[in-house]
A and B are shown apart, each in its own frame.
Chain A
Amino acid sequence: AQKVTQAQTEISVVEKEDVTLDCVYETRDTTYYLFWYKQPPSGELVFLIRRNSFDEQNEISGRYSWNFQKSTSSFNFTITASQVVDSAVYFCALSEAGRSQGNLIFGKGTKLSVKP
């Protein structure tokens, strides 16, 4: 069955620390897509990244980086030199190409608090 697990419910760090948010997924599909979204206190969902199952290259975007490992079914997200503005809830999500609904399956989210 398809599932996304974010084992870390809440993380608290001090500004400038590095922090990694874990995401483990389950799927039987060979073609799927993984996403990360940020939900700041204002409540909207902000798209961060999409990866397809055939592209295991790690990606870096500024202070953000993502590590995709099919062998461990993980898609972890690292923030380097965290800032107070990074405080938010972060969601990992899965979309299976073979699923007729085409919907996203979300993890429960990790609440990140970055203290000055």
Chain B
Amino acid sequence: NAGVTQTPKFRILKIGQSMTLQCTQDMNHNYMYWYRQDPGMGLKLIYYSVGAGITDKGEVPNGYNVSRSTTEDFPLRLELAAPSQTSVYFCASRLDRGGHGYTFGSGTRLTVV
């Protein structure tokens, strides 16, 4: 049981480049999330999805896009990378809105130079 898998683990981007952070879960969870963690801060919600084909903005969505074509995959797209997007990105999933817990991926450390 792999849980939530994020790739890549590390990446350095130049300003203006684009990339996609991959997130896959094999638990048939409906809810998926992308968070970013800046130094000394807690995690902030970028985008979330409550099921395949349904996505919505979180607290800090600017500069990002997502899609959810399948239950398993929830990629995060960065267009025109900026230094402000230097952060650690976590993908998470949960079965539903009830008392079930969350499963987090191991994170992607992104540096934009």
Contact = CB atoms under 8 A, between A and B. Distances in A.
Interface string B83-113: 0000010101010111101101011010000
Interface in A1-52: 4, 9, 33, 35, 43-45, 47, 50, 52
A108 B92 CA distance: 18
Interface stretch (A57-65, A66-74, A96-104): A96-104
Contacts of A97: 97-98
B104 A43 contact: no
A101 B45 contact: yes
B53 interface: no
A45 B101 contact: no
Contact of B106 (A4, A43, A47, A103): A43
Interface residues of A, number: 23
A103 B58 contact: yes
A18 to B, nearest CB: 25
Interface of A: 4, 9, 33, 35, 43-45, 47, 50, 52, 91, 93, 97, 99-104, 106-109
CB-based closest 8 A-B pairs = A106-B42, A102-B97, A45-B104, A106-B43, A108-B42, A103-B45, A44-B106, A101-B48
Given A91-B42, A97-B98, A102-B96, 8 more contacts: A44-B104, A44-B106, A99-B97, A101-B48, A103-B33, A103-B58, A106-B42, A106-B44
